[in-house]
Amino acid sequence: MSKKDVSSKKQTKEDVNLKGTLIMVMIVGAAILVMWFASYGLFLSR
């Protein structure tokens, strides 16, 4: 971990940064959709 990566500044409620969370939940949502549509495709093909 680089020094630049770490800062001792504590976040307040106002400047809370949840960008990583947004990306993570998007990935979870995408994984669910991919699995669902893959199964749906299989259902249609049978």
CB of 18 to another protein, least distance (A): 6
Q: Tell me, residue by residue from 7 to 46, as one string, x for binding to another protein by CB under 8 A and - for no binding.
A: xxxxxxx--xxxxxx-xxx--xx-xx--xx--xx-xx--x
- SS3 readout for 7-45: CCCCCCCCCCCCHHHHHHHHHHHHHHHHHHHHHHHHHHH
- Please check whether residue 11 is in contact with residue 17, taking contact to mean a CB–CB distance below 8 angstroms: yes
Residues that bind another protein (CB under 8 A): 1, 4-13, 16-21, 23-25, 28-29, 31-32, 35-36, 39-40, 42-43, 46
